[in-house]
Amino acid sequence: MHGEYKTPGGKLVVVDFDVHDGTIVDPMVSGDFFLYPEESLDQIVGSLVGLSVDTSEEQITQVVANAVPDGTELLGFSPEAIAIAVRRGLA
Amino acid sequence: MSRTEQHYPREADARWRDYEWEIIPTSPMHPAMNIALDEVLTRRVGAGERRPTLRFWGWDSPVIVIGRFQSVRNEVQIENAAEHGVQVVRRITGGGAMFTLPGLDITYSIYAPPDLVKGLSFPESYAFLDSWVVDTYRELSIDAWYAPLNDITSSGGKIGGAAQARRFGAVLHHTMTSYDMDPKLMMQVLRIGMEKLSDKGLRSADKRVGPLRQQTNLPREAFFHALTERFMDLTGGELGEISNLEHQAAVELVRSKFATEEWTYLLP
């Protein structure tokens, strides 16, 4: 599955993943965004693993937001942008 | 094109003179060496082993430089790139893919102590660190300005993009601008989806770009000369060079990291 979302005036977020038994597996989050520190991407990606394909955009936003470590700077994108890309990939 | 300009507190300009700067002119290098030197010089400045530095880049071969968080297959038409001898390298900063041929770009890195951008927001720091470049382009009659978050653009289209990393105790800020381009080849080797262009109001990616050559009769060397002069005026800095030790450290990083499939395909 492949979903893309460009934050208006911001950056592109791409989420690639597979679906197995109704859940998200092997997600990859990529794009031309900026993220400090870069290691925070691992936590963001990890939060998508095992999510049900029925998870709503709002719920995904919350899950990703909770996974972003304190002090992380997301520039040009957001947990919501990732959630939109995931939902587009599932659509 | 609608003009949205990004600003920063002008009083920050005085900070450039708080440091003794070194300016390293360009020489053509292997793409992975350029990326490796960014890490080496950022580490050296962060450790206080080198003065704050401006380095101009040169390429010895066609290259696509992708951002730290980009997927190779989402950004590059890999078979076309290989066919045209275009190497793909992944840099240590975020941001988007850039394609250039040797001698067609003007690319530079700034390696600075974090205090240079202290108190500035991230968007302000981008505009601040490239302000002398925008001023130089304007001086050379290019109608340029800084567009949020990280673009240098103009009434003739986008000129270039910047990216930062805050690592190893220093700020790395590099900006790749386009002197001239091969839009046909660019569209063959890059993959630019409609979603990426969704808020630009333009149909094709090559129409977004406005390299300097389309807007001026000045040779590329005139830009290097003007940029170097302006940075020296701004900072009081002087010309320097990459040391043997730094060169060796970069060669080692190319071997162990930047030329490896593991790094390039970190996000496949």
**pLDDT tens for residues B79-122?**
999 999 999 999 999 999 999 999 999 999 999 999 999 999 99
pLDDT at B202 exceeding the cut of 60: no
Q: Cα torsion at B79, B82, B83, B86 (round to 10°)? A: 130
Contact A8, B199 (CB under 8 A): yes
Give A61's pLDDT tier (boundaries 50, 70, 90). very high
Q: What is the pTM of this model?
A: 0.95
Q: Does A16 touch chain B (CB under 8 A)?
A: yes
- Angstrom CA distances, B127 to A19, B57, B150, B155, stand at 42, 20, 7, 18
* Alpha-carbon distances, residue B111 vs B44, B64, B74, B108 (angstroms): 9, 22, 30, 10
Query: Per the CB < 8 Å rule, is A28 touching B268?
Result: yes
Residue B192 — pLDDT band, cuts 50, 70, 90? confident
Report the gap between the CA of B251 and the closest CA in chain A (Å): 24
How many angstroms separate the CA atoms of B68 and B96, rounded?
9
Residue B53 β-bridge partners: B22, B111
Chain Cα centroid distance, residue A48: 7
Chain A residue closest in CA terms to B147: A9
Q: What are the backbone angles phi and psi of residue B147, rounded to the nearest 5°?
A: -105, 135
Q: Best of A1, A75, A77, A88 to disrupt the B interface by mutation (most B CBs within 10 Å)?
A: A75
Task: Convert the pLDDT of each residue in B18-27 to its tens digit.
Answer: 999 999 998 8
ipTM of this complex: 0.96
Nearest CA distance, B207 vs chain A (angstrom): 18
| Res B55 pLDDT > 60 | yes
For B111, other C-beta atoms within 10 Å of its C-beta total: 28
Nearest Cβ partner of B195 from A4, A29, A37?
Answer: A4
Torsion of CA B154, B131, B163, B237, to 10 degrees: 130
Total Cβ atoms within 10 A of residue B182: 16
A6-59 pLDDT, tens digit each? 999 899 999 999 999 999 999 999 999 999 999 999 999 999 999 999 999 999
DSSP-H helix ranges across A1-91: 40-48, 57-67, 79-90
Identity of the amino acid at B66: I
Taking the C-alpha atoms of residue B71 and residue A66, their distance in angstroms, rounded to an integer, is 24
Helical ranges in B130-236 per DSSP H = 131-139, 183-189, 220-235
Please name the residues between 17 and 56 in chain B that touch chain A, using a CB distance below 8 Å.
none
| A79 lies within 8 A of chain B by CB | no
CA B147 distance to own-chain centroid = 15
SS3 call for A39 = coil
Whole-angstrom distance, CA of residue B26 vs CA of residue B242: 11
Partner residue facing A32 (CB), from B67, B164, B167: B67
Q: A-chain residues within 8 Å CB-CB of B266?
A: none
Residues in A touching B163 (Cβ below 8 Å): 34
Contacts (Cβ under 8 Å, ≥6 apart) of B61:
B30, B31, B85, B87, B102
